[in-house]
Amino acid sequence: MEKKTPITKNLNENISHMEELFHTCDDIKKKEMMLGKERDVACYLTFIEVAVDMGTSVLSELLKYLSSLEKETLYAVLSENALGVSDATYFQTIEEAGDGLLTGEVILFVDGFDKAVKIPDDGYPNMGVQEPSSEKVIRGSNEGFTESVKQNAALIRKRIRSPKVKVKQLKAGVRSNTNVYLTYMEDLVYPNLLEEIENRLSQFEIDGVMDSGVLEQLAEEKWYSPFPQFQTTQRPDRAAMSVLEGRVILMSDNSPVALILPTDYNSFIRTSDDYYNRWEIASFGRMLRYIASFFAMTLPGLYLAVTNFHTQILPTTLLLAFADARKGVPFPAVIEVLLMEISFELLREAGVRLPGAMGNTIGIVGGLIIGQAAVEANLVSPIVVIVISFTALCSFAIPNEEFATAFRILKFAMIGLCAWLGYFGMLLGLLAVLIHLAHLKSFGIPYLMPFVGADLNDYEDERDFLWRLPMRKLKKRPIYAKRQERTKLIWKNKKERES
């Protein structure tokens, strides 16, 4: 275990240790000052240059206050933690003071006092609260998570103003010392779930954690699965809903993406505005997304299976139209499909990487131009362009980007199987995916809940499944919450309660 250097009452010794710890760090500023009414108490301030403003009210008022005190009174104020600053923290070792400095706060050493004081300040610069770039909604909050884990926790507390919301801080990354918060509702969450999460996070050591995606990949149980076992979100309202369901939110400093766990297939299909809109439109939209998730994986393969192996299932007029459209195309149908799929994936990647409006333009215009040019050059048939475009639309309709990526990858496997075995290849691929999903769990919750295991929650989860029943009928929390805390809606009127 690394040896700790205690802070002493000798200011020069403390300064020497801090200088040794942060030598050749020109971005860290050091300032020696005199405090006390008689200016007879030496002190040492150290902070990261852009993280602290010496003119801020908290720091300037505190220094002004300490400069107005007699020497004995000043030491008494420090000893009794009577600084009048709510977030002032005391450190007893140089290493702890160094860690506190690296959080972006001010560290104060006072001659004759054997502790360092962390004084809160603005902290590291960040982009502030903005609208999330993904998970667009028609109705609901437009606030998104920021890169500050403290602000993200505050955004959740803003929506759930209860002392039962707990925030537990962990550290990740041996060198980065990244703050990781676990946020949950104390009376709803299962204690063994928290233990399992902490156990997963303690099973590895890594140099640095720059984003929550690193933790997600290292903590997943079935790491080889294309389906994510952690649900991502950039929306505080979505995270707050999940906390009220008894789930845990994992947030990493420097990342605007929070992880929700446990999760299941149905959770990836739902959106936050499903609960802000009336149940009819919410149910319709959700069923569309389920259909989209199916066709995003199977449609190109289904086209190959029908046109290459099972043409008898098509009406004669449609079959003749397909044959006419393929006249002059020099490639087999599978090469056509792969050529267009790879082109669309390249356009999607280029649209993401190009800046701003240019990225949106290349995605839309590029797709139209390349598709039209390929048809006119007789490289592909028009029906293939339609099939691939519709497949892309289906993948865009899936609310979660990571979840949609799983279907984009499996789509190529389905193309290969259908080109080889036709409709039987498609059935084989679907069977393999269903078997895999049936074996998949997220922290003990079946991935296909409530397709399977609906009886575990007395079939209550089926009320918020392929369809969403009216809000007045959603009286129970999902399976994530403790069994004795499943009731979330109680009608005061007896007639409504019994309905």
Q: Which of 203-212, 311-320, 472-481 has the lowest mean pLDDT?
A: 311-320
Looking at the chain, the number of H-run helices and the number of E-run strands are 17, 12
For residue 305, what are its two tokens?
């299976």
Confidence of residue 498 (pLDDT cuts 50, 70, 90): low
Confidence of residue 496 (pLDDT cuts 50, 70, 90): low
Are 482 and 474 within 8 A, CB to CB?
no
- What pLDDT does residue 85 have? 67
Mean pLDDT for the stretch of residues 323-330: 82
- What pLDDT does residue 481 have? 93
What letters, b where the CB count within 10 A reaches 16 and e where it falls short, cover 231-269?
bbbbbbbbbbbbbbbbbbbbbbbbbbbbbbbbbbbbbbb
Order of strands, edge to edge, in the sheet holding 28-35?
28-35, 41-48, 106-110, 116-119, 89-91
* pLDDT tens-digit readout, 43-56: 999 988 877 766 66
* pTM, to two decimals: 0.87
Q: For 177, phi and psi rounded to 5 degrees?
A: 50, 50
- What pLDDT does residue 364 have? 64
Q: Compute the distance between CA of residue 48 and CA of residue 106 in angstroms, rounded to an integer.
A: 8
* pLDDT tens-digit readout, 399-427: 999 999 999 999 999 999 999 999 999 99
Hey, CA dihedral for 88, 92, 97, 100, is it positive or negative? Answer: negative
- What pLDDT does residue 363 have? 66
**What is the DSSP code (8-state) at residue 138?**
S
